[in-house]
Amino acid sequence: MNNPGIEQMVSQLRAVAAQAGQSPSTSATEAGGQDFSVLLKSALDQVSNAQQEAKQLTQQFELGDPNVNLQDVVLSLQKASVSFQTMVQVRNKLVSAYQEIMNMQV
């Protein structure tokens, strides 16, 4: 089964994993010097878009749209679920890092 959406998501995950292995100065330069908040908002928007797409496909399938099949619905739901779970883990790491910084003694 070959789906361009999944391939794109896998390539994005590989790119993020490659950036995570680089030094902070290198990854910031390659990212075009973008602000962290801009990157975070972009990631949140992608998660939201995946969830909206899954919701729309589900509704179309429920209404009996002949152009939507069950495999596409399940795939979009799983994609939305994985992206949401990833975002929750990123949030947990950010909260943990914030708490660790706040507990440091100066």
Please state, in angstroms and as integers, the Cα–Cα distance from residue 77 to each residue in 21, 29, 40, 64, 96, following that order: 30, 35, 22, 17, 28
Same domain, 104 and 61: yes
Same domain, 29 and 55: no
Same domain, 9 and 57: no
CB distance 87 to 14 below 8 Å: no
Predicted local confidence at residue 1, as pLDDT: 47
CB distance 57 to 24 below 8 Å: no
CB distance 87 to 44 below 8 Å: yes
Question: What is the mean pLDDT of each successive set of 10 residues along the chain, which is 106 residues long?
Answer: 63 71 52 77 92 95 92 94 94 93 88
Same domain, 59 and 97: yes
Predicted local confidence at residue 105, as pLDDT: 85
Same domain, 39 and 77: yes
Predicted local confidence at residue 22, as pLDDT: 58
Same domain, 19 and 47: no
Q: Which two tokens stand for residue 23?
A: 């030094």
pTM above 0.85, yes or no: no
Mean pLDDT of the chain: 83
Q: Where are the alpha helices (DSSP H) in the chain?
A: 4-20, 24-30, 36-62, 70-102
Boundaries of domain holding 73: 34-106
Same domain, 55 and 89: yes
